[in-house]
């Protein structure tokens, strides 16, 4: 692995830092993508769904921290401000339309960027309506955007949990992740959050779900029985791999949505 001085410094910092779910997921999905994006920091194709996701999360967090007192108008204005500020910054950094992902029939720049200005507002309105329809599902002990640090074997894992919630039909609190895009098909993230809440806060979490911006409601509830050994192995192998300089390419369908594909010699054309 040939690295410039700056890349070497970044690599050294990645060798020693705490691991997050997203860092670890990325390494498992394509180690080479991890290297290109985080260590080499090659130019990335941007997708306006990132700004949309961050802005919706920020507004939902503000709404819950207000005790659900913010009005629809305030929520939409907050979204507009947060999304516009982030998009403007991103456009300053990357004004080239070819470096923005299209979304379905929408050209990334400008159509998809403009469209998501509206989609995000609709999602925060949906969140408000959903809480009005489900007032009995409340935030557990003010637990919004909860930071945790958990030792898993030799690895220090750092994360933030969107929400811990009470549900009238469930035993004990559950972990809830807000998703503005597709619903996940596997639930390692929720398993990790449940383990963190149970080990660090003795919370007794046995279930979790997603609030889905695409449908405006929660997913089905997912039973959680976190397997500590499995998570120790999942994070441990990644940690060892990064320290050993293992960044294997994993060409496949995901290449079409890979932000660093333009710098990748292994990209699948399938
Ligand atoms: S284009 Fe494919 S193989 Fe290359 S870094 Fe991205 S996901 Fe990995």
Q: Which residue has the tokens 């809830």?
A: 176
Distance CA 147, CA 245 (A): 29
Atom nearest to 259 CA in ligand 1: 6
Would you say the CB of residue 184 lies under 6 angstroms from ligand 1? no
Task: Render pLDDT for 193-235 as a digit per residue (tens, 0 to 9).
Answer: 999 999 999 999 999 999 999 999 999 999 999 999 999 999 9
Q: How many CB atoms lie within 10 A of CB 88?
A: 11
Span 19-23, average pLDDT: 98
Q: How far is CA 178 from CA 61, 91, 159, 164, in A?
A: 10, 26, 15, 11
* Fold assignment, 138-232: Lambda Exonuclease; Chain A (3.90.320)
Is the bond preceding 196 in cis, omega lying within 30 degrees of 0?
no
Determine contact, residues 209/221, Cβ cutoff 8 Å. yes
How close is the Cα of 89 to the center of ligand 1, in Å? 26
Atom nearest to 33 CA in ligand 1: 5
Closest by CA to 203, choosing from 165, 230, 256, is: 165
Span 145-158, average pLDDT: 98
By most ligand atoms within 8 Å of CB, the mutation choice from 38, 250, 257 for ligand 1 is 250
Span 19-26, average pLDDT: 98
pLDDT at 138 over 80: yes
Distance CA 76, CA 237 (A): 43
Determine the pLDDT at residue 269.
83
Closest by CA to 56, choosing from 142, 147, 145, 121, is: 121
Determine the pLDDT at residue 41.
97
Would you say the CB of residue 33 lies under 6 angstroms from ligand 1? yes
Could you tell me the pLDDT band of residue 1, with boundaries at 50, 70 and 90? Answer: confident
Q: Which residue has the tokens 């293992």?
A: 246
In residues, how long is the chain?
270
Q: Return the structure tokens found at 267.
A: 């990209």
Could you tell me the pLDDT band of residue 111, with boundaries at 50, 70 and 90? Answer: very high
Would you say the CB of residue 254 lies under 6 angstroms from ligand 1? yes
List CB contacts of 199: < 8 A, sequence separation 6 or more: 150
- pTM for the whole structure: 0.96
Span 27-31, average pLDDT: 98
Distance CA 177, CA 56 (A): 12
By most ligand atoms within 8 Å of CB, the mutation choice from 32, 259, 263 for ligand 1 is 32
Distance CA 64, CA 213 (A): 16
Distance CA 143, CA 138 (A): 10
Would you say the CB of residue 255 lies under 6 angstroms from ligand 1? yes
Determine the pLDDT at residue 87.
98
Span 56-61, average pLDDT: 98
pLDDT at 270 over 80: no
Among protein residues, the one with the nearest Cα to ligand 1's atom 2 is: 255
Would you say the CB of residue 256 lies under 6 angstroms from ligand 1? no
Could you tell me the pLDDT band of residue 37, with boundaries at 50, 70 and 90? Answer: very high
Distance CA 52, CA 123 (A): 10
Arithmetic mean of pLDDT over the chain: 97
Distance CA 69, CA 100 (A): 36
Domain residue limits, the chain: 48-133, 138-232
Task: Render pLDDT for 186-202 as a digit per residue (tens, 0 to 9).
Answer: 999 999 999 999 999 99
């Amino acid at each position: 692995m040939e690295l410039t001085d700056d890349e070497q410094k970044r690599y050294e910092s990645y060798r020693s830092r705490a691991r997050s779910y997203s860092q670890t997921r990325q390494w498992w999905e394509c180690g080479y993508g991890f290297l290109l994006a985080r260590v080499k920091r090659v130019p990335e194709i941007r997708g306006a769904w990132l700004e949309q996701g961050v802005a919706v999360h920020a507004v939902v967090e503000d709404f819950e921290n207000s005790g659900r007192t913010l009005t629809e108008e305030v929520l939409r204005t907050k979204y507009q401000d947060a999304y516009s500020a982030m998009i403007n910054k991103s456009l300053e950094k990357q004004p080239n339309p070819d470096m923005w992902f299209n979304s379905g029939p929408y050209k990334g720049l400008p159509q998809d960027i403009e469209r998501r200005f509206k989609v995000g507002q609709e999602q925060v309105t949906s969140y408000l309506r959903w809480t009005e329809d489900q007032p009995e599902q409340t935030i557990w002990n003010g637990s919004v955007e909860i930071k945790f640090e958990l030792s898993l074997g030799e690895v220090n894992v750092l994360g933030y949990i969107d929400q811990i919630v009470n549900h009238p039909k469930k035993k004990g609190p559950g972990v809830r992740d807000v998703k503005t895009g597709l619903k996940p098909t596997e639930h390692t993230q929720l398993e990790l959050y449940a383990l963190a809440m149970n080990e660090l806060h003795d919370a007794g979490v046995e279930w979790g779900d997603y609030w889905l911006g695409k449908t405006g409601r929660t997913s089905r509830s997912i039973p959680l029985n976190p397997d500590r050994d499995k998570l120790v192995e999942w994070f441990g192998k990644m940690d060892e791999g990064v320290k050993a300089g293992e960044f294997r390419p994993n060409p496949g369908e995901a290449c079409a949505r890979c932000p660093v594909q333009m710098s990748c010699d292994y990209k699948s054309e399938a």
